[in-house]
């Protein structure tokens, strides 16, 4: 983990802590400019390793820290990566330990990932953009920048991504890219069917499983669109999110994105019915003690419509359904798979998983069933994505 000069070094301390917590071994290398913003003592305490800062450091037995450190690494993550550092890398300059280390790393097995951080004008400057393009052409991964308030008092692009975002990017980098070239459409969360302006029909789906599936698909290299019902979860990085409310809203969004979709994963808990006519104003109690009489109509079956369309039947569109049941999971999931006409249906017991961070899944296809034991929803999502990739012929052999 390299730190070059910039006030964003304060984020690097938290990033180091998160990496250690996630199980990584972190070796910190700092430039002299970085030490103006963060002390090596702090980074050593967090990483539990001596911090290197000079190419002349005699602690290396052969006096070649720039060689030794990179040979031990699985990746070099520079956060923050200043405009000056990227200019050096673009030109192959190596006048300090960090730039030497980037140049001397075995590029075929030690990827270089850069998290830029600078003022918005510096980021937008043509020279910086040329340097970014050059380091990418040379094989480095540039993780992009955030938008917002900057230490100088200005607002715009150029902020270093937040520590959790960078951790997610690093984890995603190492996931197998089994869905590269695929366009994945995911629905997640509940729908809300209005009775009047303040009341409606919904369910307990939190959307966590669907959001995990969207993240796992993006990690696997897919272009991902997430159609989300009314939930307050953060959007997985790199995922295009479309917020909807009702089942009809969800159908419209799914239909609009269906033509470019190759894999459709319907994790959402769509309301089966909606009021035939929502009241334009709040329905008041009339003193009779009786609720108002409501008429209902059935909502469209989004998954069945796509699965049984001409595209779905031709297998150009691979459809995966989810079933949240309260009992008799195997029988109900098998019946639902046949009714929906999908090659793969994923079942779970809804009351055991709604709002939780873990789950247990049952994979149902024409050959039978297979259980995925209880695990975090993200771990299960990655297993599901690998399963889908194998079924459509893009995954690694099992």
CA distance 345 to 338: 9
Residue 300: half-sphere exposure toward Cβ, Cα within 13 Å: 13
Name the residue among 393, 303, 298, 283 with its Cα closest to residue 346.
Answer: 303
Tell which residue, 319, 318, 183, has the closest CA to residue 260. 183
User: 238 — alpha (psi -120 to 50), left (phi > 0) or beta?
Assistant: left
**The one catalytic residue among 9, 76, 102, 152:** 152
Look up residue 127 and give its two tokens: 């020279």
Q: How many CB atoms sit inside 10 A of residue 353's CB?
A: 21
152 included as an active-site residue: yes
Burial (CB count <10 Å: 0-12, 13-18, 19+), residue 170: buried
Those residues with Cβ within 8 angstroms of residue 171's Cβ, 6 or more apart along the chain or in another chain = 22, 219
User: Phi then psi for 150, rounded to 5 degrees?
Assistant: -120, 160
Q: What's the rounded Cα separation, in Å, for the pair 391 and 265?
A: 14
* Helix pair 377-392, 208-219: axis angle to 10 deg: 50
Token pair for 79: 């956060």
Tokens representing 23 are 């199980």
Strand partners, 240: 225
Structure tokens, 48 = 């539990």
Q: What single string gives the DSSP state of each residue in 119-150?
A: -HHHHHSHHHHHHHHHHHHTTPEE---EEEE-
Tell me phi and psi for residue 194, to 5 degrees.
Answer: -70, 135
Helices and strands, number each (H, E), in the chain: 15, 19
Catalytically active residues are 152
């Amino acid at each position: 983990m390299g730190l070059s000069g910039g006030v964003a070094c304060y984020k690097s301390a938290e990033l180091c802590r998160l990496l250690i917590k996630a199980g990584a071994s972190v070796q910190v290398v700092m430039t002299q400019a970085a030490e103006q913003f963060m002390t090596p003592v702090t980074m050593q305490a967090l990483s539990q390793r001596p911090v290197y800062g000079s190419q002349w450091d005699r602690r290396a037995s052969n006096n070649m820290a720039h060689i030794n450190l990179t040979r031990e690494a699985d990746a070099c993550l520079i956060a923050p990566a200043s405009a000056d550092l990227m200019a050096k890398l673009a030109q192959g300059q190596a006048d300090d330990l960090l730039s030497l280390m980037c140049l001397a790393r075995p590029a075929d097995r030690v990827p270089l990932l850069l998290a830029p951080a600078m003022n918005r004008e510096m980021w937008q400057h043509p020279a910086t953009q040329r340097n970014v393009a050059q380091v990418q052409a040379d094989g480095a991964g540039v993780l992009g920048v955030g938008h917002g308030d900057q230490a100088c008092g200005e607002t715009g692009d150029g902020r270093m991504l937040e520590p959790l975002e960078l951790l997610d990017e690093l984890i995603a980098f190492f996931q197998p890219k089994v869905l590269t070239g695929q366009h994945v459409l995911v629905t997640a969360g509940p729908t809300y069917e209005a009775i009047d302006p303040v009341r409606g029909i919904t369910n307990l789906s939190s959307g966590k499983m669907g959001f995990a599936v969207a993240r796992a698909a993006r990690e696997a290299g897919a272009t991902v669109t997430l159609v989300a019902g009314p939930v307050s979860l953060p959007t997985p990085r790199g995922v295009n999110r479309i917020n909807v409310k009702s089942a009809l809203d969800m159908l419209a969004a799914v239909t609009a994105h269906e033509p470019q979709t190759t894999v459709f994963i319907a994790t959402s808990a769509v309301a089966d019915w909606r009021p035939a006519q929502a009241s334009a104003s709040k329905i008041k109690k009339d003193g009779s003690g009786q609720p108002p009489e409501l008429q209902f109509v059935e909502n469209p079956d989004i998954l069945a419509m796509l699965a049984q369309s001409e595209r779905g039947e031709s297998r150009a569109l691979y459809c995966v359904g989810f079933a949240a049941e309260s009992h008799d999971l195997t029988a109900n999931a098998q019946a639902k798979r046949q009714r929906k006409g999908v090659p793969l249906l994923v079942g779970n017991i809804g009351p055991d998983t709604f709002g939780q961070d873990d789950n247990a899944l049952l994979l149902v296809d024409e050959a039978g069933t297979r259980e995925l034991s209880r695990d975090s929803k993200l771990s299960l999502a990655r297993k599901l994505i690998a399963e889908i990739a194998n079924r459509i012929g893009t995954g690694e052999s099992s």
